Structures are given as structure tokens and as C-alpha cells.
Structure 1
Amino acid sequence: MSTFSGIWVALVTPFRDGQVDLPALRSLAAHLLGAGAAGLVVCGTSGEAAALDEQEQLAVLDTVLEVIPASRVVMGLSGNNQAAVLARLQRIQNRSLAGILVPAPYYIRPSQQGLLTFFGAIADASQLPVIVYDIPYRSAVSMELETIRQLARHPRIVAIKDCGGDSRKTQMLIQDGALDVLTGEDEQIFATLCLGGSGAISAAAHIRTADFVQVVAHLQRGDLQAGRALFRDLLPLIRLAFVEPNPAPVKSLLAMQGLIVDELREPMLRCSDELRERMRVELL
């Protein structure tokens, strides 16, 4: 069974003239792994998965797998039609991935029992490890601590991407030790690691990836001072990366480095000229 730790990059999906830019995707994936990322999460929020049809999502996944070992790739799997999500799972899991990342079904706001039913059905059907994605500001439903604890008893549910905004719940999950706790809030990476969390699924770590990885290394060696200093140096960049809706700022930063074209799918828009200039100054 997979374990998840370190910095996993929540991979953007490059576009060019309205189409998925597969060559840029291939080179970006290789670049990030070469910089030390533990792995990549494709077709998540940062990957604009909601704007991709299923064939495009599978093309993104298979393109990444051309250059990255499957054991270092997680695939996003989201939706509020349980039967459709289960059908998509069957088409994904003929690849031996590290796992799947599954958020609560958005918009319909199920009860806690409904969440147990939804995640239980996916875990029962999955041959891959499952990372539960707790992100109430997108799914409109918060997963209670006891709900997550019940899900953690399932042998396929091995980790949580924690965007729940509840520090007590985070600390209790880390203390329980039943799940790998990966923060999805980039400003919380240092705090989560210090509390004993496993790592992060990070959008900002597209930029200065090696420094994010080094923060983890410092803390694993017990060098709190070095880890704190480096993370403080990263904080201005992290904060700028979320001034406007993700992944627009990250895509602009990557475009400044010549790695992708600065393009999103509407209704997502490129970030403002003002923010681009602030980020350019921070990169210097």
C-alpha cells in the first residue's frame, strides 16, 4: 500500500490555442520531478479538471505517465454523480498509479452518512489507494473528524489532503496516525510538518520546487531553524500565488520561466497585469 509524504505538486494543465499542450505537459512534469518533487497530482483543482472532458483527462494522465513512474502519480477523481464517478474509476485504474485523490461531491452537500456512503463506495471499488480530499470551500460540505476517522478504517483509504481549515481536526488526525496527513493549504506546510504531518499537495511548489523539498529535508533532519528560515523566504511567493483564483497566478509564473503558455480555459482567466508584475519582481 502506498504511503504519501513530502512535496507532491498539484500539476497544472498547460493549454495552447484552446487545446491541451501535451508537449509542454510532458516537459513540465519531467522538470518538477527532476527538481525533487515526491510526485505529481494530475487533474485536480490546479489542473482545471472541471474544464476537461474525460478523454482530455485521460490524455493528460497518460502523457504524464510517459515521463513519470506511475508510482509517483496521483489522479484526481471528482464529481457528484456517484455512478459516473465509479464508472470513471474503472477506466482510470487499469494504470498502476500511486493513488486517486477524491473530494466530497460538490453542490449537493450530502450528510455525514452520505459522505461515508460515497467514499466507501469508491474505496470498495478501487484497486488503488485513496486520498480523501477535505475542501469545504469548494465542495460546500465539511467532513467531520469522526467521519474521517471512520473512513480511515477502510484499507484502501490511506491519506487525506487537508484543506478543512480546522487546526484541531488536523492535529487530531496527525495524532491518530491512521492516515498520511498532507496539507493542501500551502501557507500551512511548515506548521503541518512541525506537527507531524506527512507533507503537502502544493500548487505553489511549481515554482522553486527544490526549496519546498528542502524545507521538508531540513525538518526531517530536525533543523527547525533552517527550515523556518527557508519557508519564510518562500512565503511571499506562496501568498502571491493565491491572490487571484488558482491556478492563474501559478500559470503566469511558469510562463515567465518559459515552461508553458499563460493560458486557462474560460471562465478561468489569466491573472491581472498588476499581479503579474508583482510576481515578476518576487522572482528576480
Structure 2
Amino acid sequence: MTTDRPRPRPFGRALCAMVTPFTASGALDPDAAAAHAAALVRDGCDGLVLSGTTGESPTTTDAEKKALVRAVREAVGDGVPVLAGVGSADTRHTVELAREAEKAGADGLLVVTPYYSRPPQEAVEAHFLRVAEASGLPLMLYDIPGRTGTRIEPETLLRLAEHPRVVAVKDCAYDMLGTTGVLSRTGLAYYSGCEELNLPLYAVGGAGYVSTVANVAPRQVRAPLDAFDAGRTGEAALLNARNTRLTELMMASGLPGTVTAKALLDLGPVREPLRPAGREAAEELRRALGELLAG
């Protein structure tokens, strides 16, 4: 008799938080988005998350978000989960974005905690429930208090997990005790949103990750989880360690992940108020990526 419990993976295991390509003039580039999405899937991504933090959602319009979903949906086909970021500080606006994402062909919604206004937990819960009732799509809740100013507290997550369309969490809360507590008491699928925690969270029952670094090294980000699933835990730890330098430079160097990812990709500029990486930072990023890809 086995004691293993099936690990819920409603959107796959290896997801990329995809950058949003722009033309040189700063307009949305749907063709480049389609090409990048298709390449990511070929290189091992199970699913794609659009219009999140890495996708520059605060500076893209509603029409651009919808066009992006359509372009990526057409590029990758129906078998690849496509999640649309619909989070905002305004519940009514978030509901509208959710409905438009469903019409555009999204398979799920990434919904961040309302930011800046710092609502109390009962308001946070009500916000997510309103969005869950607005469409027929499943939700991945995005818990990133470092950006929003508000945590989705574990007790709130326990209540939200009772809704049939609240199925997953993108976890950037840096609270492994709280996370494992929710994992042990619900069927929520937890996806790491912090590359350094991809393997640790997976080892305690997480579903996988939503990764910015996967934009430039999808196979390398996925490799530790592949090794872990094969029972090669020592190899998984080694592969995880090999990714550390690039992760540090992309995610903890003082530059946003959007900026560092676009410094390594020919996918256009970032939108203000973000600014491109300087020459020295870009060269260091390219060296680290080259060393990682060379094995």
C-alpha cells in the first residue's frame, strides 16, 4: 500500500512567467509573443503565464492584454495551459479583465492581491470570491506581499480553497511554515514564484513553479524537478545549485526580473518607469547565462 497522495497540477508543472514583447517603438508585438511562447513550449514549459509582474501588466492596456492572450493561444494550441494575469487594485476592473481573458481563450487566471490600498483579510477574501464568480475559469491566487503590501493569510487561503474555482497559489510569501500548513489541509496546487524555492517547495508537495528565469533557460529551470521526480535527489540539488548564479543576477541584483530577462532576449524595450539594464549588468547576465547553458 502506498501513502503517496496525488500532487494536484491543474496547469502543469513547469510554467514560465512570460515577458511581453514590444516593438522598438514600444508597441505590443503579438508576432514576437507568439514566437517566444512557441519556443518556450518546445523547450520544456508546460504552461505560460501572461501579463503578470514579468509581463509588465501595470503598463499594458486592457486591449493589449486581450491581444496577447489571443496571440499566444493561437501559437501554442489548445493543449498548453495559458493563464492571464488579471490582477489590479480595483475589484470591478479585475472582474472585467477576467471576463475578457476568458473570451480571448485563457485557460486560467492569475489574480494578485489588491495592492496599495492594503485591504483587510475579509476584503481580500471577498475580492477573490468576486473574481472567482465572474467567469468559468480556475484561479491561481498570487501571494506576493513584498509588492502588494498585503499577505493572503493562511487562514484566508483555507477558506478560499473551498471555492471550486480557486485551485492554485503562486507563492512569493517566503513563509514555508504557512505554505506547508495550507498544503496539508487543502487540495490547492502551490507553484513557487521564487526560483530559489522551486525545488524546496516541490519537495514538500508543491505543484511546480511560475518562473521568470524560464524565459531564458527553460530546460535548466525545469531540470531539478525532473531529477527529483526520477528519484535522483542529489542530482536535483546539484542542478538547482547550478541555476543559482543566474537566478541571483536576474532576480536579486536590484533590477526587476522584467528588465534582466529583456536584457537577455531580443524582445524589445521595457516600458517606463522601468529602464533597460546598463551595459555592465547586461554583460554579466550574458556571461552567467552562457556558462549555465554550456553546462
User: How high is the TM-score relative to the length of structure 1?
Assistant: 0.94
**What is the alpha-carbon distance in structure 2 between the residues aligned to residue 41 and residue 34 of structure 1?**
16
Amino acid of the residue matched to residue 184 of structure 1?
G
Residues matched between the structures, number? 279
Amino acid of the residue matched to residue 32 of structure 1?
L
Query: 1:235 Cα deviation (Å)?
Result: 1.0
Correspondence for 2:44: 36
**What is the alpha-carbon distance in structure 2 between the residues aligned to residue 88 and residue 97 of structure 1?**
11
Amino acid of the residue matched to residue 138 of structure 2?
P
Q: Please, what is the CA RMSD of the aligned residues?
A: 1.5
Correspondence for 2:230: 221
Q: What residue ranges of structure 2 are gaps of 5+ in the alignment?
A: 1-7, 291-295
1:80 aligns with 2:85: no
**What is the alpha-carbon distance in structure 2 between the residues aligned to residue 196 and residue 88 of structure 1?**
31
Correspondence for 2:276: 270
1:55 aligns with 2:66: no
**What is the alpha-carbon distance in structure 2 between the residues aligned to residue 96 and residue 128 of structure 1?**
10
Q: What residue ranges of structure 1 are gaps of 5+ in the alignment?
A: none
Correspondence for 2:4: none
Bigger drift between 156-165 and 267-276 goes to 267-276
Contact 2:70 2:104 in 1 (8 A): no
Query: 1:253 Cα deviation (Å)?
Result: 1.3
1:181 aligns with 2:216: no
Correspondence for 2:53: 45
Query: 1:2 Cα deviation (Å)?
Result: 7.2
Query: 1:69 Cα deviation (Å)?
Result: 2.6
Contact 1:126 1:156 in 2 (8 A): no
Q: Deviations over 1:236-257 (max 9, x none)?
A: 11111121112100111123xx
- SS of residue in 2 equivalent to 1:182: strand
**What is the alpha-carbon distance in structure 1 between the residues aligned to residue 185 and residue 206 of structure 2?**
11
Contact 1:100 1:129 in 2 (8 A): yes
Query: 1:96 Cα deviation (Å)?
Result: 4.6
How do 1:54-203 and structure 2 match up within 5 A? 54-70=62-78, 71-203=80-212
**What is the alpha-carbon distance in structure 1 between the residues aligned to residue 124 and residue 193 of structure 2?**
20
1:248–1:189 Cα change, 3 Å: same
Query: 1:126 Cα deviation (Å)?
Result: 2.2
Contact 1:5 1:200 in 2 (8 A): no
User: How high is the TM-score relative to the length of structure 2?
Assistant: 0.91
- SS of residue in 2 equivalent to 1:66: helix
Bigger drift between 7-16 and 93-102 goes to 93-102
